[in-house]
């Protein structure tokens, strides 16, 4: 009844390892997009222009209130109607990066708001421009308290990469499905995928905490 | 918008004040914080501002540092308008660019120091000169080290603020403000957040500045003895106005107004 075949596991392992690489690349690239775009969105929400602030806030709300899967489909299948033809890889990373940038923008926003007003005033007293104040004073202090939140979403993005399988990105689930239907065996590939996710997610939380401590020490906080 | 056509575009002349408040008004909703304030501070003068809390003392400094907008009147620094700028021979409210240009003349120290926690004492002092004035790191470092020497903090130059006591942080903050070479220095209750035993190390630095440097200074303080010792003039604020002002010996020794007398005797009792 419980027919676990080690031989089969060894046979499919190379493909799974390769798919793990693809998954990490997709998560990493999506996260990189989200890190940069999230900061841009957070700063835009603090701009003196009311129109810009309003539009960005509505955009963030919209993205956060609709499913990631829908956004992936939209970029991949609806994009071409507007002349935007992207590979599954590109579509996937853009959709996932965009989706998470909206979550990360909230994390950044919390970090920025945690910087005391006195820091802004000290920067003004030194005659720093708004740009200099953000770059040199506010953002460096906003990052350490935001790191835990930023890190959680890194694990989150990693666990959401299977959604890219629906548009044919050869990440872990997609590969496990393929292996399963080729061999009529699903137990081993899915179990392995679960273990791989676990093996990567679990230590990440600890690593993120360690990194947070390191950054705080480095900044003397 | 208030009519400001009656204000001069420049204040010139040998005896022109370094700082001039002309009918400056500040309101928060229905609350009048400063009520048509007129105050001139001569170049090199040390003026102390005393008074009960809520009398608008700190607001005077914050407006001069452009941390608060003014609701009426004009502030001049070194002869030119700070809060306004000339456009077609008329004064109009200052643009951000104008503020940045004119703000360079002013430096400020805060009650809670507001050092940048992610930078060492030395980096705090170098930040403005390097980033804003565009001075080379080498030159900024030399200048900052000189100033840290002046405030007695050179041994701690590589420490982050979290490792420094309040008095030490405030001395670094003074060095940081001086590194920008302001013409006017503002001290906003710089000893109020300090433990009593370290107040002296900060007031001694300010004393040194008064005796050795030709800076124009405005100081809001609760240290009456200190204000009396080092000021050229003391202003007693009450209810958004200067109730009484004069030489320290006169104001503390023989106050004329009833409110000044009340305030000074209440303060004396507290000590």
CB-CB under 8 Å, A124 with B131: no
Classify B192 in phi/psi space as left (phi over 0), alpha (psi -120 to 50) or beta. Answer: alpha
Tokens of A126: 């030194």
Tokens of B177: 């403000």
Q: Is B217 helix (H, G, I), strand (E, B) or coil?
A: strand
Residue pLDDT, tens place only, B165-205:
999 999 999 999 999 999 999 999 999 999 989 999 999 99
CB-CB under 8 Å, A140 with B67: no
Question: Shortest CB distance from A124 goes to which of B66, B131, B162?
Answer: B66
Chain B residues with CB inside 8 Å of A121's CB? 65, 67, 110, 114
CB-CB under 8 Å, A220 with B131: no
Residues A12-20, mean pLDDT to the nearest whole number: 88
| pLDDT for residue A212 | 85
CB-CB under 8 Å, B118 with A140: yes
Residue pLDDT, tens place only, A97-145:
999 999 999 999 999 999 999 999 999 999 999 999 999 999 999 998 8
Tokens of B238: 């009450």
Write out residues 2-21 of A within 8 Å (CB-CB) of B: none
> How many other C-beta atoms are found inside a 10 Å radius of the C-beta of residue B32?
16
Question: Shortest CB distance from A219 goes to which of B118, B128, B132?
Answer: B118
CB-CB under 8 Å, A136 with B114: no
CATH fold for the domain made of B1-105+184-271: Rossmann fold (3.40.50)
* CA A112 – CA A119 distance, rounded (Å): 11
- CA proximity to A28, closest of A91, A125, A97, A89: A97
Q: Is B185 part of the contact surface with chain A (CB cutoff 8 Å)?
A: no
CB A94 within 8 A of CB A33: yes
Tokens of B185: 């220095």
Which band of pLDDT confidence, cut at 50, 70 and 90, is reported for residue B2? low
Q: Is the model's pLDDT at A221 over the cut of 70?
A: no
Domain ranges of chain A: 6-218
Domain ranges of chain B: 1-105+184-271, 119-181
* CA B127 – CA B180 distance, rounded (Å): 10
Write out residues 101-120 of A within 8 Å (CB-CB) of B: 116, 118-119
| pLDDT for residue A13 | 87
CB-CB under 8 Å, A128 with B128: yes
The superfamily in CATH containing domain A6-218 is MetI-like (1.10.3720.10)
Q: Is A121 part of the contact surface with chain B (CB cutoff 8 Å)?
A: yes
Q: Is the model's pLDDT at B28 over the cut of 60?
A: yes
């Amino acid at each position: 009844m419980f027919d676990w075949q080690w031989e089969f596991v060894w046979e499919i392992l190379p493909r799974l390892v390769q798919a793990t690489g693809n998954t990490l690349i997709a998560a990493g690239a999506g996260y990189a997009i989200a890190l940069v775009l999230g900061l841009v969105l957070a700063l835009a929400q603090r701009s003196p222009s009311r129109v810009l602030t309003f539009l960005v806030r509505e955009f963030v709300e919209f993205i956060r209130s609709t499913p990631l899967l829908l956004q992936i489909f939209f970029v991949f299948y609806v994009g071409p109607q507007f002349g935007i033809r992207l590979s599954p890889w590109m579509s996937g990373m853009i959709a996932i990066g965009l989706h998470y940038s909206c979550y990360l923008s909230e994390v950044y926003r919390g970090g920025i708001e945690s910087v005391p007003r006195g820091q802004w005033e000290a920067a003004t007293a030194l005659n720093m421009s708004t740009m200099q104040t953000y770059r040199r004073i506010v953002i460096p202090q906003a990052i350490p308290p935001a790191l835990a939140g930023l890190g959680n979403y890194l694990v989150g993005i990693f666990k959401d990469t299977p959604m890219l399988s629906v548009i044919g990105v050869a990440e872990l689930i997609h590969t496990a499905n393929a292996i399963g239907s080729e061999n009529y065996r699903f137990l081993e590939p899915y179990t392995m995928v679960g273990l791989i996710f676990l093996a990567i997610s679990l230590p990440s939380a600890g690593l993120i905490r360690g990194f947070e401590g390191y950054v705080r020490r480095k900044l003397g906080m | 918008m208030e009519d400001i056509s009656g204000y001069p575009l420049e204040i010139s002349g040998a005896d022109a004040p370094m700082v001039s408040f002309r009918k400056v008004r500040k309101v928060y909703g229905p609350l009048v914080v400063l009520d048509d304030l007129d105050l001139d501070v001569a170049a090199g003068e040390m003026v102390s501002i005393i008074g009960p809390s809520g009398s608008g003392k700190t607001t005077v400094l914050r407006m001069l540092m452009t941390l608060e907008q003014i609701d009426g009147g004009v502030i001049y620094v070194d002869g030119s308008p700070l809060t306004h700028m000339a456009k077609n021979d008329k004064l109009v409210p200052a643009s951000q660019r104008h503020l940045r240009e004119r703000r360079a003349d002013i430096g400020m120290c805060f009650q809670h120091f507001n050092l940048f926690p992610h930078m060492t004492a030395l980096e705090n002092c170098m930040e403005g000169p390097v980033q804003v004035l565009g001075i080379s790191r080498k030159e900024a470092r030399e200048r900052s080290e000189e100033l840290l020497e002046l405030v007695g903090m050179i041994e701690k130059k590589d420490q982050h603020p979290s490792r420094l006591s309040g008095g030490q942080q405030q001395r670094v903050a003074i060095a940081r403000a001086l590194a920008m070479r302001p013409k006017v220095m503002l001290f906003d209750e710089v000893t109020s957040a300090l433990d009593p035993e370290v107040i002296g190390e900060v007031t001694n630095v300010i004393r040194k500045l008064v005796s050795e440097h030709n800076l124009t200074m405005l100081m809001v303080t609760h240290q009456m003895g200190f204000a009396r010792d080092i000021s050229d003039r003391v202003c007693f604020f009450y209810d958004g106005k200067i109730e009484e002002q004069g030489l320290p010996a006169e104001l503390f020794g023989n106050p004329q107004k009833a409110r000044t007398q009340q305030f000074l005797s209440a303060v004396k009792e507290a000590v």
